[in-house]
Structure 1
Amino acid sequence: MKVASRLEGILKDPLSEVSRKERRALLGISLLSIMVVNIGLIPTKISALGIDLKPEDQYAFRIILALVLVYYIIAFTLYGLSDFFAWRIAFNTSFPTPPKEEDIKMYQSIIDNNNDGEEVSERSWFGSLPSRYAHFLSKFRIFFEVFLPVLIGVCALFATLFGK
């Protein structure tokens, strides 16, 4: 497997389009929920429908908002985990079997001694700095794109149910 295809396997987009739409909806509903609780952005009247909301109705509005939030947390978690496992399989197959200790020392000496512009072998280059950055970046991206939105949604849910 070539170095470029290995790095592509590590850095490929971890979420499908369906998951991205669910994440966008989850983050939007989470923002709305936080605004409802912290700013008091609960409508008292929906004039287009001719509805007046009394204080007890406003609490019901928060409960409905919390139920919608639960739906989007579950939906994105299911889609996100499915995409995460698919990404993880691609990630794991992007790496060769771990090298032995003597191989690591040999590859490191090739990298350290290669200052005269000679071509570095594929195996030694793959263990070099660019692939390490790709490894870190791919894991950070998974956290940012999959786990952080769920955490924000759960915090918004608690804020909606137990806020002011």
Structure 2
Amino acid sequence: MKKLSFLLSAAVLALMLGACSNEEASKGEEKEEETAETTKADQESKKVRSALLSYQGEVTKVIRNTEANLTAEGQDPAEAAAAFEKDAKAVSVPEELKDQLKDMEAAVDSLSQYYAKKAELVKAGSEDMAEAEPFKEEYINSMTKVFEKAELSAPSFNSVFQ
């Protein structure tokens, strides 16, 4: 009888140890899956941030070129503003930024309005660009939101403009 009781106790103990080790293995697999998902999300986030920085770099080049052309002697400010709109829309929005596409397009539209108004004021000989400023601020606010969604600090947009 003692032998039977001992064998039964050993079998119950073996089953309990087996159940515990399966539970630990399951927890380990869940942690690996979570780590893999986190790593994938981090990689996607990095791609979005990189694409956004690249896009903004291209738009900044267009802005600086337009700023120089607006005040260049012999250059028609209206032509410079029209060139901005064409050049800015030619900068393609990377696929990684498709979720922010509408915000980015609205920002570029605001900037196009800014340059159209600024060209009008420059052509009229005005030094006061206050009428154009709300469009620039709209652009800055829109792009700041896009940068915040991408978990990036927005650049100092005012330094881009002359």
TM-score (normalised: structure 2)? 0.39
Higher helix share: 2
TM-score (normalised: structure 1)? 0.39
Q: Which is higher, the Rg of structure 1 or of structure 2?
A: 2
